[in-house]
Amino acid sequence: MSEPEGRAEGRLDYGSDPSQYGELSLPEGDPRGVVVVIHGGFWKAAYDASLGRPLAAALVARGWAAWNLEYRRVGAGGGAGGGAPATFDDVAAGIDHLAGLGLDLTTVVALGHSAGGHLAAWAATRGRDGWPQRVPVTAVVSQAGVLDLRSADADGLGDGAVRALLGHAATAADAPYDPIQRVPAGVPVWCVHGRDDDVVPPSQSAAYVQAARAAGGEAELVEVDGDHFVVIDPDSPAWTRIVGILDTLG
């Protein structure tokens, strides 16, 4: 792996577990900022960081540094060992690992899809409940995010994925893990959601934005044509909308 200007690139471990790593990709020249790519898959071990690689490549092509973050997840097989709080510990540690990589961290955007959108929104507020926050998130782009754990649990999203993550039915006591219970985030949040999403309903994003604004936060609902996955297709108009949001940040 090359080390331009003293900065590491490629797969970098932030812990000893096989799932505690990120993939750092750098553009030519100085990056516009750093985008932390957090993949989805309902926090399940069956899904991994390969989902984020096309987005990371597209971001690097537009001048961003991309940190494609892996974390411990729920279920059997490779990537297991997650759930609350381990998954959250990993996301916090993975973002903070950026502090030692020689990057300009003035702009750090958390970009996450589905369960990754949940973790991206959570990451912006992680310092409130004792998680370390050496590297603050300065903006969030949630792509079809699971932003209301109680509603998602009640609706049975992901075949009980919320209960598997938490280890029990979601309640008000799970506020440390639940983005909608943590509004306002304190940073701008864009919730990009496909109108025809039948995996994570658009109401998840709409409810979050409404709650965030009611709490005095800066949040915007961006509705796009398409399903749950259109927002992670770099060739889609939905991705063009996301790129447009990022262009306002760096």
pLDDT in tens, 171-201: 999 999 999 999 999 999 999 999 999 999 9
* 41 touches 74 (CB < 8 A): no
How far is 154 from 244, CA to CA, in rounded Å? Answer: 34
pLDDT band at residue 4 under the 50/70/90 scheme: very low
The token pair that represents 65 in the structure block? 């540094």
pLDDT in tens, 136-174: 999 999 999 999 999 999 999 999 999 999 999 999 999
Q: Give the predicted TM-score (pTM) of the model.
A: 0.96
**Taking the mean position of all CA atoms in its chain, how far away is CA 196?**
21
pLDDT of residue 7: 64
* 101 touches 8 (CB < 8 A): yes
Name the class of domain 4-247. Answer: alpha beta
Compute the average pLDDT of residues 11-37.
98
How far is 195 from 47, CA to CA, in rounded Å? Answer: 24
How far is 209 from 217, CA to CA, in rounded Å? Answer: 9
* 79 touches 72 (CB < 8 A): yes
pLDDT band at residue 19 under the 50/70/90 scheme: very high
SS (H, E, C) the chain: CCCHHHCCCEEEECCCCCCCEEEEECCCCCCCCEEEEECCCCCECCCCHHHHHHHHHHHHHCCCEEEEECCCCECCCCCCCCCCCHHHHHHHHHHHHHHHCCCCCCCEEEEEECHHHHHHHHHCCHHHHCCCCCCCCCEEEEECCCCCHHHHHHCCCCCCHHHHHHCCCCCHHHHHHCHHHHCCCCCCEEEEEECCCCCCCCHHHHHHHHHHHHCCCCEEEEEECCCCCHHHCCCCHHHHHHHHHHHCCC
Compute the average pLDDT of residues 213-237.
98
How far is 54 from 51, CA to CA, in rounded Å? Answer: 7
Q: Supply the mean pLDDT for the chain.
A: 96
The token pair that represents 227 in the structure block? 């399903």
Compute the average pLDDT of residues 72-94.
96
pLDDT band at residue 77 under the 50/70/90 scheme: confident
